[in-house]
Structure 1
Amino acid sequence: MTSSYQQQLDAKVERISAQFAEFNPPSLEAFNSPEQNFRMRAEFRIWHTEDDMFYAMFERDADDQKKVIEIKDFPIADQSINALMPVLLDELKAQKILSNRLFEVHFLATLKGEMLVSLVYRCPLNAEWETAAKALSNKLNIKIYGRSRGQRVILTDDYVVEELSVFGRSYQYKQIESSFTQPNAKVCQKMLEWACNAAQHSNKDLLELYCGNGNFTLPLSTRFNRVLATELAKSSVYAAKWNIEKNAIDNIQVARLSAEEFTQAYNGEREFRRLEEAGIDMSSYDFDTVFVDPPRAGIDDETLKLLQRFERIIYISCNPDTLHDNLKTLLQSHKIVQFAMFDQFPYTHHVESGVLLEKI
């Protein structure tokens, strides 16, 4: 590693270790990122001048005014994105129907080589645009997806299929353009392996809350008898079910419930037709572990009480502050036995953290 990357990684380790020191956790295990070409997503504004246009981002100057920065390459993005950027821009410039009122360009790449480009416009998209976009899609061998206000034009697909390797086994994931996916695929693979190691092997069942597209669900299913995963977003539930079928995994059920709704159902406070329609008999499960990867806001109080009833909790967090706050409750019943940090976002203050908690 270069000294500059090592220094920023060391600073994160020091910051997170200090923040959680009051809980006396084990030594923090840090998982580094590639120093460049680690992001599988990139989004740019398109800045139009009188006779040209270019990829743009913005920064604040000394007077707190927005300054336009032309982006010719983007070293933190995957190599395939960097290779495509100038080629795509030249093609867009060459056709007025594709460049007119183009507002943003979004790239979504995969480790296996697929590419989805979303072109976002400030004008309606017509048949002429669709014909030109299809021709460009074929010429560059990429997927193109058009968007404008109230309009979505899907030429082939609005997703890519990523392939991640966990302990030598490959998993395929449908990643939908508008849905969340981990942007740093190589660090994501490290997170999946850490979670599987934390889970060890159990002859009981796993409950997963906030499962998204099944990112962790698929490899974790190899460590348990059965898995019940919950997620509220319809697009993510759809992707998770597609991923389960695509990977021929037969011990996972997915319930479209929020964490709060699952807590109510588990406590017998409410009945949900969605469970019945999905053929899920909650009483048939014998859980010993719960896995959570909540949004930045963390976990609500009632769900925290639910987690305290499980023997083991595996908690992945994208926000150290809410993890720290949630641990004040969880450590009343559990202790930290593993503590990890994943550098998903090099050169920013953001980190992903992981803790394995076991009942006292």
Structure 2
Amino acid sequence: MSSETLFPAPSGVSESDPLLRLPKVSLHDHLDGGLRPATIVELAAEVGHQLPVGDPEELRVWFREAASSGDLVRYLETFDHTIAVMQTAEALERVATEWTLDQVADGVIYAEARWAPEQHLGQGLTMDAAVEAVQRGLQAGEAIAADQGRFIKTGQLITAMRHADNSLAVAELALRHRDGGAVGFDIAGAEDGFPPSAHLPAFQALHRACFPVTIHAGEAAGVDSIFEAVQICHAQRIGHGARIVEDITSAGEDDIALGRLASWILDHQVPLELCPSSNLQTGIAAAIEEHPITFLKEHGFAVTVNPDNRLMSDTSVTKEMRLLVDRCGWELADLEWVTVNALGSAFLPLDERERLIDDQLVPGFAAVSL
């Protein structure tokens, strides 16, 4: 199979787009939000799961429209369908392999697969077996890419569901697999009403074990959620974090006043895993031009650009970058800066991060012009 067949351009991206050739990093990228529609159709048929439509392209449209509907019930239904077909080791391995190959097609050289093992136990898997299956899939994708002369490195972000009462067990799971592909921990799910501090025992265990943490915060809830994530639960990165702007007042383009938390986030360069298209779907902004990402970038915050859920938002890192270039005036230097931010804050050892920046990012950006 040719490299072009294995790595077709992401949906909505032209093969000739120079942005596609840029080396990229994807820190906020849900495994269960990035399945191929054709794979969902095949796996659903195997397990007898009823889908809203049976044609892969029609299903792609259904996912995008349901996620963009403004109806939370419809949005959450999209994940019911993807998780339903990810309940066996074979399915998890396949999804993880394809997820990795799709990253390569997008020009991504480092990606963290964010997913919640506790949601994949419906057919008898243990959480450990589920993590091992995903790891086999990620490694298979890396090997296929290498055979085709392409490079990618992946890791797992083991996620607990914040509305559940299982976070300490999931944290212990992540620690068991820290030498087997697990690079970090997260909590996800309904943010408003489920503060990070409710899972403090898990975060304390991870902190004592020197294990990296990112926390969904500042998306559906505001500054208090971000404060708890950083100052109480020791998060090294913030998943989304767009609502940090609520701690900033502006009297003009160059006249802003930072609150205590915003100052801390800026001064300590706490990375913000921003996901523009996804944030539009969840109501953080009405249009990409109004999204806080450009304001935060221009004022020195450690901004990164991510897809969140590739299927639900019908997006990719390249597509997010293209939106920012075409509609927000971003230039190549801006894209390089946020990509260096992302790789610099990846849950990798320092020497690996520095090597990837020197060997992959810098020459990759130097070879592309807009």
Report the TM-score when normalising by structure 2. 0.34
Report the TM-score when normalising by structure 1. 0.34
Structure with more relative contact order (C-alpha pairs < 8 Å, separation 6 or more): 2
Which of the pair has more CA radius of gyration? 1
